[in-house]
Amino acid sequence: QSVLTQPPSASGTPGRRVTISCSGSNSNIGGNTVDWYQHLPGTAPKLLIYRNNQRPSGVPDRFSGSKSGTSASLAISGLQSEDEADFYCAAWDDNLNGVVFGGGTKLTVL
């Protein structure tokens, strides 16, 4: 059971918008920033969003992040077939003194 809770799956059709939620607590999301990763099995994970809503250089602005209280969300607009992957949220946890990941959300582009 992961400390951060994500839906196991999400889906959408090309061109549409999809959001992935991440729920935590005061010790992690509530008091620290959230990062989001995209992971294709067999490849290196990729940082999509850091500090709740910042995009690293090279990440399209179709990807956006937000945080409110003890929850965070990743939004993907203009869905493309290449977006199919597993998505993970992560945050520092003050009680555990380490980073905690969500269980991951598998995105399917229909």
Is 96 a binding residue for another protein by CB under 8 A? The answer is: yes
Q: Figure out which of the listed residues 7, 53, 77, 92 binds another protein, where binding follows CB under 8 A.
A: 92
Closest CA to 65 of 94, 33, 93: 33
Residues 28-47 that bind another protein (CB under 8 A): 32-33, 35, 37, 39, 43-47
Closest approach, Cβ 19 to another protein, in A, equals: 19
Ramachandran sector of residue 61 (left: φ over 0; alpha: ψ -120 to 50; beta: rest): alpha
Exactly one of 14, 15, 56, 60 binds another protein (CB under 8 A); which one?
Answer: 56
Do 86 and 41 contact (CB within 8 A), yes or no? yes
Minimum CB separation of residue 109 from another protein in Å reads 20
93 forms bridges with which residues in the sheet?
A: 98
Interaction between residue 55 and another protein (CB under 8 A): no
Contacts 24+ apart (CB under 8 A), 60-66: 63/36, 65/34, 65/36
User: Residues interacting with another protein, by CB under 8 A?
Assistant: 2, 32-33, 35, 37, 39, 43-47, 50-51, 56, 86, 88, 90-92, 96-104
